[in-house]
Amino acid sequence: MTVNEALNAFKKHQQIMSAYGHLMGVVSLDAATAAPKGSYEGRGQTMGIMSQILYDLTADPKNHEVLKVLEANPNELDPQTRREVEVARKSFDQLQRIPAEEYVAYSVLLNESEAVWEKAKNENDFASFAPFLEKIVEYNRKFAGYYNAEMKPYDALLNEYEEGLNMETLDAFFAQLRSVIVPLVDKIRQAKPVEDSFLSAHYPVEQQRKFSDYLMEVMGLDRNYCGIAESEHPFTTNFNNKDVRITTHYHEDALASSMYSVIHEGGHALYELGCDDIYNHTNLSGGVSMGIHESQSRFYENIIGRSHAFIGLIFPKLKELFPEQLAGVTADMFYRAVNKAEPSLIRTESDELTYALHVMVRYELEKQLIDGTLAVRDVPAAWNRLYQEYLGVEVPDDTRGCLQDSHWAGGAIGYFPSYALGSAYGPQMLHFMEKDLGDVMDLVAKGELAKVTGWLREHIHRHAGFYKPDALFEMTCGKFDAKYFTDYLTNKYTKLYDL
């Protein structure tokens, strides 16, 4: 095989895999947003068949030959192709180690488990979900060995979502966060409480939908390339850089819930929409890692979306859409309400300060599940104990406890820590952004979010998967230092609560 033949086969293979990814992605989106509840069996059959086909396509020995030819001739490849080869090699080696029947069985299991989890959550019935979670944990433990037998199993899983991340780093990172967050939370307990009852007035779904449209407009999300739908759990999915979808979930008694999920998912969507065209239909398309992705979503959700400047900008629209619900409420009161720091039950609705504590609970449980020191049946009790210990709250049921997130049902173990990491990247990015743009909050106040997104696009978005996540971050922001984050939290909450 000549290098040119290998190159053609390699590019063609990526296009084919991208086409399959597109199809499967749309089916998953449909399953979460529009499909009738009883449709999962037929979808399971289809997904099972496709998993086998995808497995065969990826594990095809011909790919190995192609890769070997390309790896033997690095100087004949342009830099993008070299990186594509590197990424392809990683996937190929990993998949090679997973027996086809396990891969297919796991895909079928996940399709079913997501439906079972949703029902279990709605009915507060952990027992019905437990057998699925047991199998998922078992598969993940096994897969960890396939991914990297040298690493501790949980490290191997972490490394899947964020290359280079491990328990050593995370233990230190979380300890540092705890040392700042816990004392702040204690001081806030003594401070004057923030009034936020108006956020749980009645906010009709129809009006909230209009508000979502407005938020997407303010964020500069081009509706020609970005859709919004409704699902149990908000998420973002992308098929290429001109077809991105976000979802939200409306609660009529909680305005901030959908509001901040739209801004959060909108941050993910801006990342996907901002990737350069040259990466479409290659294995470098889309955001590079979960941590970097979360840095973008949480930058928008918290640093922008929960700023005084942003609330000031959007407050007239809020008053227009919800005149009765917000009668007598000022922009400053609204700002304080959406920043109320209070240990609570639900991660996705928690405040910016206590959020990382929610992540730490999941991190501790995942570590123990994977190393075998925690049995699945004991998850609810362990969950409730850690919520008491880290957040000081009593968990009343599993619906608001260990069944609240879809991640485990979807097979994602080792994913949660990237949420905390993503949050922590933000203030460091802001610091370097301000070196270029000056006072960012001044831009936000004027509605000039295009400049903020432009900076993120230039330094992060456009590169898609071309650089490794740590390299991408360091190119612009230097070595990661959690102190930017802890300083940011300390400043923000000291001022807000007058501590």
Residues near its own copies, by CB under 8 A = 15-16, 18-19, 22-24, 26-27, 29-30, 33-39, 41-43, 45-46, 49-50, 53, 206, 222-227, 229, 239-240, 242-245, 280-281
Cβ-based neighbours of 70, under 8 Å, separated by 6 or more? 3, 6, 7, 10, 77, 81, 85
Backbone angles phi, psi at 237, to 5 degrees: -140, 150
Name the minimum Å distance from CB 115 to its own copies: 12
Name the minimum Å distance from CB 210 to its own copies: 12
Name the minimum Å distance from CB 239 to its own copies: 6
Q: How far apart are CA 342 and CA 357, in angstroms?
A: 11
Amino acid in the structure at residue 279: Y
- Using an 8 Å Cβ cutoff, are 421 and 162 in contact? yes
Which residue's CB is nearer to its own copies, number 240 or number 302?
A: 240
- Using an 8 Å Cβ cutoff, are 289 and 296 in contact? no
Name the minimum Å distance from CB 245 to its own copies: 8
Which residue's CB is nearer to its own copies, number 272 or number 351?
A: 272
Instruction: Give the full edge-to-edge strand order of the sheet including 243-248.
Output: 226-230, 243-248, 236-240
Name the minimum Å distance from CB 50 to its own copies: 6
Q: How far apart are CA 151 and CA 144, in angstroms?
A: 8
What separation in angstroms does the CA of 409 have from each of 53, 126, 193, 456? 23, 12, 37, 32
Which residue's CB is nearer to its own copies, number 48 or number 454?
A: 48
For CA atoms 435, 437, 438, 442, the dihedral sign is negative
Here the tokens at position 334 are 């609204």
Which residue's CB is nearer to its own copies, number 35 or number 393?
A: 35
Q: How far apart are CA 439 and CA 252, in angstroms?
A: 36
Which residue's CB is nearer to its own copies, number 24 or number 437?
A: 24
Here the tokens at position 283 are 């294995």
User: To the nearest 10°, the Cα dihedral for 410, 404, 486, 265?
Assistant: 60
Helices (H), 302-416: 308-321, 331-338, 355-371, 379-386
Name the minimum Å distance from CB 36 to its own copies: 5
If DSSP codes are grouped into helix, strand and coil, which group holds residue 179? helix
Active site residue 474: no
Name the minimum Å distance from CB 96 to its own copies: 23
β-partners of residue 244 are 226, 238
Name the minimum Å distance from CB 227 to its own copies: 5
Which residue's CB is nearer to its own copies, number 24 or number 167?
A: 24
Count Cβ atoms below 10 Å from residue 323 Cβ, excluding itself.
Answer: 9
How does DSSP classify residue 286? S
Which residue's CB is nearer to its own copies, number 258 or number 404?
A: 258
Cβ-based neighbours of 470, under 8 Å, separated by 6 or more? 163, 164, 480
Which residue's CB is nearer to its own copies, number 68 or number 119?
A: 119
Q: Which of 265, 272, 301, 352 is catalytic?
A: 265
Q: How far apart are CA 426 and CA 480, in angstroms?
A: 10
The DSSP line for 187-207 is HHHHSPPPP-GGGGS---HHH
Name the minimum Å distance from CB 60 to its own copies: 14
What separation in angstroms does the CA of 30 have from each of 112, 113, 153, 245, 377? 15, 16, 33, 11, 32
Which residue's CB is nearer to its own copies, number 22 or number 451?
A: 22
Please give the positions annotated as active site.
Answer: 265
